[in-house]
């Protein structure tokens, strides 16, 4: 089956996700999480990629990125995953035992505005949704915790947002998302469908050849 086209246009924000192969643990102790955060910091130093929000979970991670140029997203994510895989195998002494990640990263572009806020909230409340903490800002391995600390050194590699961060942001993140909102976000995750207003989504899909992401999965009619 041919791969679905992947949009890599510059100056759009993207939600990016990848999981450990077999849904096995990717991060088991604080040093594992810290090692990946070190790679994110190195990425910013090397490429100046804008990392807007992120959340590291036991068997996967979420990033909300804001690349500046065409192709930057794929280039940088390739470096992140290859570097992490090499260091992970070296640390665990498991070289030659198979892949760390289940495959290519999943991504979808996000419209600036309320849809951006919905995705940022989805990313930063991941640990709370998984019941790993009672308050989203208590999860140490994410951008919300870093920004809430108020220590400039902890946020030096995090980017400013493309829109203003609401003053009640922490309270928003801690509020549950609706079932419809979660369903729409998960559809975008699974299909790479742009997340935004319907007219914006359709324009972007026509411009970038992503019409297949608008179709529901399953057998074609008459098959």
Split at pLDDT 50, 70, 90, the class of 220 is: very low
Answer whether 127's CB lies under 8 Å from 57's CB: yes
**Helix extents (H) in the chain:** 30-47, 72-92, 114-124, 126-129, 143-149, 169-174, 179-191, 198-208
Work out the number of other CB atoms within 10 angstroms of the CB of residue 97: 9
Mean pLDDT throughout 83-97? Answer: 90
Mean pLDDT taken over the chain:
90
> What gap in Å lies between CA 137 and CA 135, rounded to an integer?
6
Work out the number of other CB atoms within 10 angstroms of the CB of residue 42: 14
Tokens of 31: 């040093």
Judge residue 150's burial from the number of C-beta atoms within 10 Å of its C-beta, 0-12 exposed, 13-18 middle, 19 or more buried. exposed
pLDDT at 219 over 90: no
The helix/strand/coil state of 154 is helix
Split at pLDDT 50, 70, 90, the class of 1 is: very low
Extents of the domains making up the chain: 13-214
Q: Which residue has the higher pLDDT, 179 or 207?
A: 179
Q: The pTM is what?
A: 0.90
Mean pLDDT throughout 60-69? Answer: 96
Split at pLDDT 50, 70, 90, the class of 6 is: low
pLDDT tens for each residue of 101-121: 998 899 999 999 999 999 999
The CATH-assigned architecture of domain 13-214 is 2-Layer Sandwich (3.30)
């Amino acid at each position: 089956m041919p791969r679905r086209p992947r949009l890599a246009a510059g100056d759009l924000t993207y939600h990016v996700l990848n999981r450990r192969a077999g849904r096995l643990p990717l991060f088991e102790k604080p040093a594992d999480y810290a090692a990946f955060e070190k790679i994110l910091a190195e990425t910013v130093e090397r490429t100046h990629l804008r990392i807007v929000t992120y959340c590291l979970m036991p068997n996967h991670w979420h990033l909300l990125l804001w690349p500046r140029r065409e192709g930057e997203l794929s280039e940088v994510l390739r470096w992140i995953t290859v570097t992490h895989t090499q260091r992970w195998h070296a640390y665990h002494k498991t070289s030659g035992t198979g892949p760390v990640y289940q495959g290519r990263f999943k991504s979808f572009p996000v419209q600036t505005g309320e849809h951006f806020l919905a995705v940022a909230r989805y990313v930063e409340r991941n640990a709370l949704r998984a019941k790993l903490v009672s308050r989203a800002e208590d999860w140490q391995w994410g951008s919300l915790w870093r920004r809430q600390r108020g220590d400039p050194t902890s946020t030096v590699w995090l980017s400013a947002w493309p829109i203003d961060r609401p003053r009640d942001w922490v309270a928003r993140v801690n509020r549950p998302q609706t079932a419809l909102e979660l369903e729409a976000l998960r559809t975008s995750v699974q299909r790479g469908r742009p997340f935004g207003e319907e007219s914006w989504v359709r324009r972007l899909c026509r411009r970038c050849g992503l019409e297949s992401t608008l179709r529901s999965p399953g057998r074609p009619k008459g098959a």
